[in-house]
Amino acid sequence: MPPAPFSFEPMFAASYAVLLLLAAAGLEWMGRHSHRRSRQYHTRGFRFHKHTDHWECPEGARLLRAEIDNELRVVRYRAPAHTCNACAIKEHCTDSTSGREIEMAMDPWLSSATGRFHRGISLTLVVLAALIFGVELVRYSKGAERWMLAAGFTGVSALALYLMRNLAKTPAPER
């Protein structure tokens, strides 16, 4: 029996599935990037000293750990009020009379509502890519294309399972 002719439809479907995967990766990257940028916006000019667990302001004052809010899952660092109120650049830094405060999330990006939203959209795109590979694999189960489709389906399904498990393990933000 002669081999079945090569069909371009599975190649186009696989290309579309790869495009969906690239879009999912782009969404993940943009979500993490915007999260990191928003965090940097609130701490611009400040330096964190991990070994002593404090922030240092541009004028050299220390913001020490003031409290841990387990309900909101944030750590608050605060500078002494008398230091900030006597500072020459106070009007550019804070309007608080009780000292500058920095809040840092205790949980990773994925625990935030925005992170979970981005992961949900990415996961949807990955599942759609797996579905495309799966449907094409059923339609073209006899031919040279089946190996490419099977490999794509297996890889994308494994990625979808990884993303689902990662999302399920991460605690949702409290309301």
**Which is higher by pLDDT, 82 or 108?**
82
Q: What tens digit of pLDDT does each residue of 30-56 get?
A: 988 888 887 777 788 899 999 999 999
Residue 175 predicted with pLDDT over 80: no
The residue ranges of DSSP E strands in the chain, in sequence order, are 47-49, 54-56, 62-69, 74-78, 101-105
Q: How confident is the model at residue 172 (pLDDT cuts 50, 70, 90)?
A: low
pLDDT number for residue 127:
96
User: Does domain 9-35+112-169 match CATH 3.30.160?
Assistant: no
The residues pairing with 47 across neighbouring beta strands, listed in sequence order, are: 56
Q: For the chain, what are the domain ranges?
A: 9-35+112-169, 44-107
Which of 24-28, 46-50, 90-94, 108-112 shows the lowest mean pLDDT across its residues? 108-112
Which of 125-129, 143-147, 156-160 shows the lowest mean pLDDT across its residues? 143-147
Q: Over the chain, what is the mean pLDDT?
A: 87
Q: How far apart are alpha carbons 54 and 82 in whole angstroms?
A: 18
**Which is higher by pLDDT, 112 or 74?**
74
Q: Integer distance in angstroms from the first to the last C-alpha of the chain?
A: 65
Q: Structure tokens of 30?
A: 């943009």
pLDDT number for residue 5:
62
Exposure on the CB side of residue 108, measured as CA atoms within 13 A = 9
